[in-house]
Amino acid sequence: IQFGFLYDGNADYVGMARYYQSYLVSKYGLKKIEGQTDIPLFLEFIGGVHMKRPVLGLPLRIVEPLTTFEQARDMVLDFLDAGISSIELRYSGWLKGGLEHNFPYKARVEKQVGTERDFTDLSNLLSELDIPLYPDVTMLNAYGHKFKTRRDAARLLDRQIGRVYPREITEYEYQRGETGYRYLVSPNRLESLTQGFMDSYERFGLSNISFKYMGTQVNSNFGSNLVDREHAVAIITDQLDAINQRGYNIMVEGGNALVLPYVSSIVNAPTSSSDFIILDHTVPFYQIATRGYVNIAGAPMNLSPDSRASMLRAIETGTSPYFQLVANDPSVLKESDFNHLVAVYYENWKDTVLEFYSQINEALKGVQGQSIIEHQRLTHNVYKTVYENHKTIIVNYNSEPIIVQG
- The per-residue pLDDT for 176 is 46
pLDDT at 282 over 80: yes
Non-local CB neighbours of 22 within 8 Å, separated by 6+ positions: none
- The per-residue pLDDT for 172 is 47
- The per-residue pLDDT for 58 is 78
Q: For 334-392, write each residue's pLDDT tens digit.
A: 878 788 888 999 999 999 999 999 999 999 988 988 999 999 999 999 999 999 999 99
- The per-residue pLDDT for 53 is 77
Residue 179 binned pLDDT confidence (cut-offs 50, 70, 90)? low
Q: For 2-37, write each residue's pLDDT tens digit.
A: 899 999 989 999 999 999 999 999 999 999 988 778
- The per-residue pLDDT for 207 is 95
pLDDT at 202 over 90: yes
**154-163, 230-239, 261-270, 273-282: which range is least confident on average?**
273-282
Give the rounded percent of residues in the chain with a pLDDT score beyond 90.
78
pLDDT at 173 over 60: no
Task: Give the torsion through C-alpha atoms of 38, 66, 307, 395, to 10 deg.
Answer: -10
118: left (phi over 0), alpha (psi -120 to 50) or beta: alpha
Q: For 95-119, write each residue's pLDDT tens digit.
A: 999 999 999 999 999 999 999 999 9
Mean pLDDT estimate for the chain:
92
- The per-residue pLDDT for 89 is 98
HSE, CB side, 13 Å, CA atoms: give it for residue 216: 18
> Which one has a higher pLDDT value, 222 or 173?
222
Cβ distance 191 to 238 under 8 Å? yes
Residue 127 binned pLDDT confidence (cut-offs 50, 70, 90)? very high
- The per-residue pLDDT for 11 is 95
Cβ distance 217 to 233 under 8 Å? no
- The per-residue pLDDT for 180 is 67
Residue 281 binned pLDDT confidence (cut-offs 50, 70, 90)? confident
